[in-house]
Amino acid sequence: MRALDIDGAWVMEPRVFHDSRGSFHEWFRAPDLHRAAGHGLGLAQANCSVSSRGTLRGVHFADVPPGQAKYVTCVRGAVLDVVVDIRTGSPTYRAWEAVRLDDRDHRALYLAEGLGHAFMALTDDATVVYLCSRGYAPAREHGIHPLDPDLAIAWPDGLAPVLSGKDAAAPTLAEAERAGLLPSYEACAAWYAALRASRADGRPRVPAGR
């Protein structure tokens, strides 16, 4: 797994074996993630989305603790997947990084709790599957407008973005910060430390007072 410049994000670049029948690759390996992040991924939910070309989903995130870590790959077509550091106080606050996920190279992206996530479909029927450390909890879920000019994410030219009504109405990063919606880097770092000190049953030792 290759670390990105944003703390808490890694790209898994698998070996893909091809023969006359097709191909085979391992898109998730628990030991590799554990070596990179210092803890495992407690699987609570697995999602699958199918998107038409130009569909733009995100930027989504959840309250920390407990947040929601994601391990994302694209099994059909291609997407531009983006991780955004929305953790106030982070050395890379407001920074973003983009990774192409597709059905050729079969990369996967891991995002720790507290990071924002978005992607744009580059092909029709782009199929994205992702493993989540926590289940969907509407009261803890939030969004930031993916076209926020202050974030200035470089979405592909020549594609008209198609947003859901919810994403189109999402606040800018500055508005979300003023509203107190964003996770702090301090809270996220404490949560990561708790995960690294997880008990044998995989549940984190929550820091005192949280």
Do residues 96 and 84 lie in contact, with contact meaning Cβ atoms separated by under 8 Å? yes
Q: Is 130 a catalytic residue?
A: yes
* Strand pairing report for 108-111 and 78-84: unpaired
Q: Is 25 a catalytic residue?
A: no
Catalytic member of 39, 71, 106, 130: 130
Residue 105 identity (one-letter amino acid): D
Catalytic member of 60, 106, 117, 142: 60
- The tokens describing 55, both together, are 């569909």
Residue 36 identity (one-letter amino acid): A
Residue 107 identity (one-letter amino acid): R
Dihedral sign for Cα 171, 175, 179, 180, please: positive
Residue 184 identity (one-letter amino acid): S
* Residue among 42, 72, 65 nearest 113 (CA): 65
Range 197-207 burial, b when 16+ CB lie within 10 A, else e: eeeeeeebeee
Token pair 């990561």 is found at 192
Is 126 in a helix, a strand, or coil?
A: strand
| Residues taking part in catalysis | 60, 130
